[in-house]
Structure 1
């Protein structure tokens, strides 16, 4: 009887009613005459169950077909009530319960009316009319109505119970999700590496058409565009898509593929722009390709680019979201450390400073020879406390769409200059395109590393910063004129090197040091010019 465990409660109840009808027919010595009616009602009920299964599987099965089946089953049960013996009154309960569970009160009422009319009509046709028989048919029909309403109520309770059975443990759900993401990462060729996923899309595009320059730009909603991968250039050559006059603006705003001409470059170009959409159909980025106008793209090229975007959009979306999740986890850990330092050792240092102040006051009042030493100790504690506060501020990195890398470095440099008295200078050049958030955080941390070296130096009085961002190309130069402890060994395994960055340590102003970091797109030419692009020739 293991098969019974996989049946629903409603199905088992209807089968039990059919078996009860068979039992009553056997006791009434009417099994042979009653079996065809029982099988007919069961067959119609099973057909309705099959239609329900097809409907839940997405097939185009309407409510009318189901209602007709329930009506036919009720009519068969009603004819059996008027034609057969008392045992037949049980059959009307089978379609009543099923129709009530499927169509609620409307289904139960339909079975009641059909059963009553067909049962009464059968009595008239067979001329077996009697007051007792009419009362039995009426009672069976009313009981079927009540039974159908019970079916509707039980079905509603089951639905509410299924909806309520949700794991309230969000951490458990997150654990399941992360384990599934880990399994998916092992099956993908590029894992969850967003630039690698973008490069695969550009490689796929290159097999479909010839393009001098191509790129994958990512930006959700109102976020700035971030170049994940670029070919044929070291920096993004097109205007910011958030500018109304940009050749990328229409696709960025409306999410429609465009094939246009762009005359604002050194050479007039034919440009294809195709949106990358997520599972909800919202724009997550752009696939862009161009080449000289002497060999313009065709509508077939636009269709092919759209197919490439459709094939790779899901991988790029997943990689970017996973990178954001990983970066958020790191930032939350840094925020936790900053909070613990602020509430722990920083407060203890402040209490220690207050204690030293009390001792200084006592020493001054008693003209103790320790007064000068306590003054020096108080100055040193103030320096350590200021250094600790700067470390806490460094841990609280917040890279947001409205706060670019240049603004973040500029604010931190200004804060450093105001608290330390060191002269600071900064030269900044940024375009409208942004670097990936995790890249900006790594560059900022590199800047903080050099700034900490200047803070620990005893003779540094000048810090100079130059930042040039033309995404995905970026160059950072940070220098100070104090005695430095930094060397090339300190940056040999820096995370930026795994992203294509080059870090060089140079001397600066005698004992000082200068750190230069350059980063280009993967596979880009070391040259910053576009003279190495491959211009397609007319076929």
Structure 2
């Protein structure tokens, strides 16, 4: 039967140890006071009475009865021990004081379990029992006690027990209040994540995407004011900003360095709108420009910036600035929620990938290595005449080696991350180089990455797409060459993987499944996956974010390099 129905919860080791220590103390004091080993029978009875409270501390009936039995025994024993010690002459109180300290045990347990009424009842029973015990031991032929001395000692210990009950109860309430006002980290994390899950289920999917929120904000702002160029930027670490979304006829190379002399840096530092008469884009060719930079502040934290530019003078007077600011205030809260949600999801995903990598490395990978060693040992001890068996073992050893190689590449893929200092192109190139070397592929690179960075979550998804495309080419294409192109010019990016293999039409079902995964990842970051045949043979897989005039130039250069 479950513990919740019987109350037979597991005893706490500290509670049992405290009772044993107190019983030993009372036994020693009783021997010192009476010098009669026979008085230790009361200590033995107390030990028996305390068994229910130790074995079944959560039982609704046995545990309280055990504590009341302990109090009654203490009261009866106090009179007997006091009489045996001749408390009236010459040291009244010594005998009773030997056994009465045990009152603290049942009273403290009741207080810690927040049984206030039981504690008051225990004190009342203790007082009545002590009085009756004093009366019974004040007459007769045996040893007698001094009523005044005995009652004085008994009253002192009852008062001390009551104060202990009150102190233990106050301590328990204080601990409970502190736990309620200052939750433990995991409790608080559970509460917040539960709230986040509820909010995420209630909101439309796009409202928790930073890029979608930024696009919508730009559209709203372009309704109320002129903006030939506009962008929403957010922090990426390292004193730089990333472009979440932008609008404009041409490519814009925004100033993303926070330590530069620009209105963008000033708005970020001051949390106040900044106007300027020069462009905040490094790529702008010149001419008359009005610029407005409005910080997106959520509480006391700057989560992003909105940059607007118009190719006219004085395009952003104070009334327009006020209109823009009114629109950005609620947008800042939405953007902060989306960025936090994105960060939590990325952290959880990365942690899970690392966990899987550890489990594969410490589990199946090690076991396969041991299988390979076993086959090697079998081959070494095989007689020379068993040629057919040897060939089978060597074939099996080759297959085990192949599987181990696949596992190692999978581990490398799981552990690969975009370094915040190296960039996306470096991470893709490292992965392609490692995979190409293991598969005997000649890898050709075309890397064109600007100093500006994409959001960390976007870079992570692009890396996973590139990894899947490279893995598909290695496993299913039967190619000799691999062309990897990485062009990053935030918010535009294009990753392209081409091979000279057999083409996508003859690929196995698991290869098509990999293409479906890449399409889902591209959709998650508002990109598009493009799959096309490569002439004269092979397949090209590309993921594209945004648009850029440079895209055609990049494609032309890649086509020319492949034809050489």
TM-score range, shorter chain: 0.5 to 0.7
- Measure the CA separation in 2 of the matches of 1:419 and 1:528: 33
Distance in 1 between the 2:389 and 2:417 partners?
A: 45
TM-score by length of 2: 0.59
Aligned to 1:490: 515
Aligned to 1:401: 420
Deviates more, 1:178-187 or 1:390-399: 178-187
1:430 aligns with 2:449: yes
Distance of 2:438 and 2:373 partners within structure 1: 21
CA deviations over 1:465-517 (Å, ceiling 9, x no partner): 01111111111110122234256993495231354322222223544211122
TM-score by length of 1: 0.61
Rounded Cα–Cα distance in structure 2 between residues aligned with 1:414 and 1:453: 15
Select which of 345, 349, 357 maps to 1:338. 357
Between the aligned partners of 1:400 and 1:284, the Cα distance in structure 2 is: 22
Q: Is the 8 A contact 1:356 1:374 kept in 2?
A: yes
Report the equivalent of 1:421: 440
Task: Give the equivalent residue in structure 1 for 2:410.
Answer: 391
What are the Cα deviations for residues 19-77 of structure 1, in whole angstroms up to 9, with x where unaligned?
xxxxxxxxxxxxxxxxxxxxxxxxxxxxxxxxxxxxxxxxxxxxxxxxxxxxxxxxxxx
Q: Secondary structure at the match of 1:402?
A: coil
Q: Which of 451-460 and 416-425 deviates more?
A: 451-460
CA distance in 2, matches of 1:525, 1:510: 27
Corresponding residue number in structure 1 for 2:346: 327
**Which of 227, 230, 241 matches 1:211?**
227
Q: Answer yes or no: is the 8 Å Cα contact 1:487–1:505 preserved in 2.
A: no
**Equivalent residue number for residue 200 of structure 1:** 216
Aligned mates of 1:372, 1:488 — CA distance in 2: 35
Of 520, 524, 535, 2:546 maps to 520
Residue segments in structure 1 that go unaligned for 5+ positions in a row = 1-153, 530-539
Q: How does 1:348-363 map to 2 (within 5 A)?
A: 348-363=367-382
- Secondary structure, counterpart of 1:210 in structure 2: coil
Query: Partners in 1 of 2:173 and 2:411 — Cα distance?
Result: 54
How far 1:388 sits from its partner (Å)? 0.9
How has the CA–CA distance of structure 1 residues 356 and 330 changed in structure 2, closer, same or farther, with 3 Å as cutoff? same
Deviation at 1:160, TM superposition (A): 7.6
What displacement does 1:416 show?
1.4
How many positions carry a matched residue from both structures?
A: 373
CA distance in 2, matches of 1:488, 1:474: 24
Distance 1:499 1:398, change over 3 A: closer
- CA distance in 1 between counterparts of 2:262 and 2:358 reads 44
TM-aligned CA deviation for residue 155 of structure 1:
11
Q: What's the secondary structure of 1:363's corresponding residue?
A: coil
DSSP 3-state at the match of 1:401: coil
Q: C-alpha distance in 2, partners of 1:502/1:416?
A: 25
- Structure 1 residues 473 and 458: CA distance shift in structure 2, 3 A: closer
Residues 519 and 529, structure 2, Cα contact 8 Å, conserved in 1 = no
Name which of structure 1's ranges 221-230 and 474-483 shifts more when overlaid on structure 2.
221-230
1:389-430 deviations in Å (ceiling 9; x for gaps): 111221224235334211211111121133233211111112
* 5+ long unaligned stretches in structure 2: 1-168, 554-564
Task: Quote the offset at 1:195 in angstroms.
Answer: 2.1
Higher relative contact order (CA 8 A, sep 6+): 1
Deviations 1:95-117 (CA, angstroms, capped at 9, x unpaired):
xxxxxxxxxxxxxxxxxxxxxxx
**Alpha-carbon RMSD:** 3.4
Matched, 1:180 2:200: no
Q: What CA distance in whole angstroms lies between the structure 1 residues aligned with 2:398 and 2:192?
A: 52
Judge conservation of contact 1:195–1:229 (CA < 8 Å) in 2.
Answer: yes
Matched, 1:270 2:296: no
* CA apart distance, 1:347: 0.8
Counterpart contact for 2:277–2:290, Cα < 8 Å: yes
Q: CA deviation at 1:346?
A: 0.6
* Residue 259 to residue 381, structure 1, CA distance change in 2 (3 Å): same
